[in-house]
Structure 1
Amino acid sequence: MKKQNLAATIALAVLSLHAQADDAAKPQGFLEASKLSLSSRTYYNENDDHSAGGINQRETVEVVKLDYKSGFTQGMIGVGIDAQMIYGLHLEGGPGHHLGTGSTIWPSDRDNSAQDDLARGDANVKFRLSKTELHVGGALAPQLPILLANDSRPMPQNFDGGMITSKEIDNLTLNAGQLEHSTGRASTNSTALSVAGATKGSNQFRYAGGDYKVTKDLTVQYYYANLEDFYKQHFFGLVHLLPLGDEQSFKTDLRYFNSSSDGKNSSDTAGYAFNNNGGYAKHAGEVDNVTWSTMFTYQLGGSKFLLGYQSVSDNGGFVALNQGNVTADGKPLAKDGSNSEDNGGNSYYLYTNALIGTFIRAGEDTSFGQYSYDFVRLGVPGLSVFVNYMRGNDIKDAKLTGVTHTEWERDAGVDYVIQSGYLKGFGTSLRTGSYHAGGTGIANQDQTRLIFNYTYNFL
């Protein structure tokens, strides 16, 4: 692949510079501020699909990732490079335990069996002027309300294009950019950008917005995004933290999304329809949605109690990027499975984006709660646990007028990171969840994930 060759060339060149460059000849800051790390992720996924003919997925994979982030050259405009190389092995699964086409864990061969191994790489060039940075190229992982790159699987989801971040004004962070392709969390191929259910893609996702700290305890947000020929989206957010004394606080988090159709999605053009998450739509295939949520968190020592509510409007489901059905040039995936890797699945900036379900279909009102505890207060730093439960009601049936459905999910997890010694930073995460969908057309599922993470920093 061209991207792999590019990333490999850049990575080798940079390592060579580190080994050979004379101290006096080094560009100020480029090498001195460089960071080089090797990460390992061992990932076991077990998913019991309770639908008729459903696959009980059992897979273990190992992924190593080499990340290089340079500093910036000297001068008014600093220049640098970020590069990433990934290699993975499918360790275990066995016949009948790999999901095949559309797997969110690992790429599939033409016969829908799991690929033995994979490799991918990418890089971007970055520029800095004062407190403003521009990244152009690949290996981009935006973490914004209107686009969250997904890192919940063995490999991260990446994008290519251009992203700019500016902090020239105190307490104000501005973000803008244009993204053109995505490489999915279970893929080595890049694709155009799209939405769930569409078979065509776009090479233009534009966004702009910012976060402003009104006070040290109050942050307001606004972002606008446009996926050409699919949707336009406005986001408003407010986060307030109220200290209540020693080891106590009360946090309020308000989120509001307003999404509407754009271009070919508005005109019912073949291939550009949004499936509304398999649910109801006032106008079939069109994006038409308002989703808002409110969340309150009370912290007392190591305990956090979270309660929240989310509402999805009646006209259609929540929309976000999900390009699982298109290729890099925006065409449908081949029917022989030769390019059927999962390129979708980025996360949603919603508290209902749970282990299994998302609770984002038309008309759905969801109540949710979570309890978590950090054991540092009991003398066990690095250990934390959580349990949560969410229930969605009034989901509008996609075909039957006046009929509504309910879904629920309960999850639990434990995390531990070794704090000292040779394995300092070695992390273990266990997640388990049960999901039940009543009449929504989605299978009931039980899922368990066991993940081991370790990062070694060379520089």
Structure 2
Amino acid sequence: MRVMKWSMIALAVSAGTSQFAIASSQDDSKGFIEGSTFSINTRLLYFSRDFRNNAPGTQSRREETGLGFNGLYQSGFTQGTIGVGADIIGLLGVKLDSGKGRAGTGLFPNGSDGRAQDDYSKGGGAIKFRLSNTILKIGDQYTTAPVFASDDGRLLPELPQGISITSNEIKDLKLQAGHFTSSIAQSQSYKDSITDFSGAKVGLTEANFVGGVYSWTPEFTTSLYYSKIEDYWRKYYANVNWTHAIGNDQSLAFDFNIYDTKSEGAGLQRAEKDGTTKLDNRALSLQGAYTIGAHTFTLAAQKVTGDGDYGYGIDGGGTIFLSNSVGRSDFNAEGEKSFQVRYDINMAPFGIPGLSFMTRYVTGSGANTGITNNGKEWNRDIEAKYVIQSGPAKDLSLRVRQVTYRSSDGVYYGSASLDQLRVYVEYPLNIL
């Protein structure tokens, strides 16, 4: 589910410093070693999911705790017209607590006996080239495009393999393109372990995308992307984002997203044999937020029209930049309409910088699941987060999120009722 909607826009706003052709980043290259950075992000994650009304004899609870290490070395670029560099990624997940009857949270790989592995690792590297303000990268890399986005919602992130190009040659315009042929799932350590939207481990054959983000003004940005996932679908994505300051401590923000998806190829044909509807749909959301001082009030509406659910997964677990993709559900069923109300408070003005709270409620109806054409569901999240602001533990964060999810029979996930708790403790360490 997605957590990168606003960060994409922030990247676009900051991409450019002159009227048409901007100053070349390659001209300022410090060198392969001199421009290097190395960081390790440590994540402790407790994950609990309590199924409230499962059938007798089925698993009623999943509960696991793990420790993840995400190391990233990024070299600088060699000097000259075309700079050359390299990125190296190393990921390690360690089981701290689990059990055969509690496994299955998605934190760890499970063995044939149903038990979680004690540890697992993955990693890789990429070579990169820079010409002016355009970077070509070949190899293992994280992705954030709205039509191909790797997920980082568990202990370790997804890790795709392929080719990407990012260009910031024109002021306020960011262009992206990619060609990817495999991906490592969050809880796995081998390529082609990614699952499709039906949950089948079929592996990614080929994903191609192109698109860009343009900042018309510091307050107004738009984006447009196209992708084709071989054997699955083609997608169009568009976004409009507008923010406006009202005085010193008030602002308005509006965010509109739309996906147009049409299925094609063998992957969907296989799914149809299992009763999955062929996809030809539009998924759209509109979100508005009003901030006054420490308080932010948000309303959002979302709708899926056409045939089938909004499908994603084989193109990355984060490829759903829709407002109502939240703690448990994406509210993305065929015909489903959903509404969200959310409240955030930043405690810095009250003398506690780094502390924030969030709560939201999303309700959906009209879901066509094949069992019912009026499936209903709702999701409530309550979250507290604290980030240490200074001292030896600066940037260490603690985040606690409790989720309550309920749905009518026939709407998603095999359980109409569950409670979920996640506790994240993260410490980013910048070594270089």
- TM-score, normalised by the number of residues in structure 2: 0.88
Give the Cα separation in 1 of the matches to 2:194 and 2:165. 19
Partner of 2:307, secondary structure, is: coil
Deviation digits for residues 179-200 of structure 1 (CA, Å, limit 9, x no counterpart)? 1111111111111766322564
Give the one of 272, 275, 286 matched to 1:294: 286
2:154 is aligned to 153
- Deviation of 1:347 after TM superposition, in Å, equals 5.0
- Residue identity over aligned pairs, in percent, reads 29
1:232 is aligned to 234
Structure 2: where are the runs of 5+ without partners?
Answer: 1-28
- Deviation of 1:404 after TM superposition, in Å, equals 1.1
Give the Cα separation in 2 of the matches to 1:406 and 1:38. 42
Partner of 2:152, secondary structure, is: coil
Give the Cα separation in 2 of the matches to 1:348 and 1:295. 14
Give the Cα separation in 1 of the matches to 2:291 and 2:350. 16
1:256 is aligned to 258
> What pairs with 1:159-198 in structure 2 (closer than 5 Å)?
159-191=160-192, 195-197=196-198
Whether the aligned pair in 1 keeps the contact of 2:132 and 2:169 (CA below 8 Å) is yes
> What pairs with 1:323-334 in structure 2 (closer than 5 Å)?
none
> What pairs with 1:28-67 in structure 2 (closer than 5 Å)?
28-50=30-52, 51-52=54-55, 53-67=58-72
> What pairs with 1:196-207 in structure 2 (closer than 5 Å)?
196-197=197-198, 200-207=202-209
Partner of 2:349, secondary structure, is: helix
> What pairs with 1:118-137 in structure 2 (closer than 5 Å)?
118-137=120-139
Whether 2:378 is the aligned partner of 1:408: answer: yes
Whether the aligned pair in 2 keeps the contact of 1:127 and 1:133 (CA below 8 Å) is yes
Report the CA distance shift for 1:34/1:213 in structure 2 as closer, same or farther (over 3 A): same
Give the Cα separation in 2 of the matches to 1:418 and 1:56. 33
Partner of 1:377, secondary structure, is: helix
- Deviation of 1:202 after TM superposition, in Å, equals 4.1
- Deviation of 1:242 after TM superposition, in Å, equals 1.8
- Deviation of 1:322 after TM superposition, in Å, equals 3.3
Whether the aligned pair in 1 keeps the contact of 2:283 and 2:302 (CA below 8 Å) is yes
Give the Cα separation in 2 of the matches to 1:387 and 1:427. 18
Amino acid at match of 2:89: Q
Deviation digits for residues 280-303 of structure 1 (CA, Å, limit 9, x no counterpart)? x8xx54221111111101011111
Amino acid at match of 2:215: K
Report the CA distance shift for 1:86/1:201 in structure 2 as closer, same or farther (over 3 A): closer
Whether 2:429 is the aligned partner of 1:456: answer: yes
Partner of 2:348, secondary structure, is: helix
- Deviation of 1:411 after TM superposition, in Å, equals 0.3
> What pairs with 1:394-433 in structure 2 (closer than 5 Å)?
394-400=366-372, 403-433=373-403
- Deviation of 1:221 after TM superposition, in Å, equals 0.7
- Deviation of 1:45 after TM superposition, in Å, equals 0.6
Whether 2:419 is the aligned partner of 1:446: answer: yes
Give the Cα separation in 1 of the matches to 2:98 and 2:175. 45
Report the CA distance shift for 1:245/1:410 in structure 2 as closer, same or farther (over 3 A): same
Give the Cα separation in 2 of the matches to 1:93 and 1:294. 40
- Deviation of 1:31 after TM superposition, in Å, equals 1.0
Amino acid at match of 2:34: E
- TM-score, normalised by the number of residues in structure 1: 0.83
Whether 2:341 is the aligned partner of 1:355: answer: no
- Deviation of 1:28 after TM superposition, in Å, equals 4.3
Whether the aligned pair in 2 keeps the contact of 1:212 and 1:220 (CA below 8 Å) is yes
Partner of 2:352, secondary structure, is: coil
Report the CA distance shift for 1:60/1:265 in structure 2 as closer, same or farther (over 3 A): closer
Whether the aligned pair in 1 keeps the contact of 2:82 and 2:129 (CA below 8 Å) is yes
- Deviation of 1:445 after TM superposition, in Å, equals 1.2
Give the Cα separation in 2 of the matches to 1:265 and 1:29. 45
Give the Cα separation in 2 of the matches to 1:376 and 1:347. 32
2:361 is aligned to 389
Moved more, 188-197 or 244-253: 188-197
Give the Cα separation in 2 of the matches to 1:319 and 1:438. 21
Report the CA distance shift for 1:432/1:206 in structure 2 as closer, same or farther (over 3 A): same
Report the CA distance shift for 1:425/1:397 in structure 2 as closer, same or farther (over 3 A): closer
Amino acid at match of 2:354: G
Give the Cα separation in 2 of the matches to 1:141 and 1:285. 31
- Deviation of 1:264 after TM superposition, in Å, equals 2.9
Amino acid at match of 2:345: Y
- Deviation of 1:148 after TM superposition, in Å, equals 2.2
Whether the aligned pair in 1 keeps the contact of 2:100 and 2:114 (CA below 8 Å) is no
1:4 is aligned to none
Partner of 1:169, secondary structure, is: coil
Give the Cα separation in 2 of the matches to 1:94 and 1:110. 14
Whether the aligned pair in 2 keeps the contact of 1:80 and 1:127 (CA below 8 Å) is yes
Whether the aligned pair in 2 keeps the contact of 1:274 and 1:286 (CA below 8 Å) is no
Report the CA distance shift for 1:150/1:252 in structure 2 as closer, same or farther (over 3 A): same
Deviation digits for residues 299-320 of structure 1 (CA, Å, limit 9, x no counterpart)? 1111111101000014211012
Give the Cα separation in 2 of the matches to 1:228 and 1:358. 24
Report the CA distance shift for 1:202/1:36 in structure 2 as closer, same or farther (over 3 A): closer
Structure 1: where are the runs of 5+ without partners?
Answer: 1-26, 276-280, 324-343
Amino acid at match of 2:429: Y
Give the one of 48, 52, 73 matched to 2:78: 73
- Deviation of 1:65 after TM superposition, in Å, equals 2.2
Work out the number of aligned pairs and report it: 397
- Deviation of 1:228 after TM superposition, in Å, equals 1.1
Give the Cα separation in 2 of the matches to 1:204 and 1:397. 29
Partner of 1:234, secondary structure, is: strand
Whether the aligned pair in 2 keeps the contact of 1:302 and 1:375 (CA below 8 Å) is yes
Report the CA distance shift for 1:376/1:397 in structure 2 as closer, same or farther (over 3 A): same
- Deviation of 1:147 after TM superposition, in Å, equals 2.3
Give the Cα separation in 2 of the matches to 1:397 and 1:85. 40
Give the Cα separation in 2 of the matches to 1:236 and 1:381. 35
1:243 is aligned to 245
Deviation digits for residues 329-380 of structure 1 (CA, Å, limit 9, x no counterpart)? xxxxxxxxxxxxxxx7445211222111111000100001110011111121
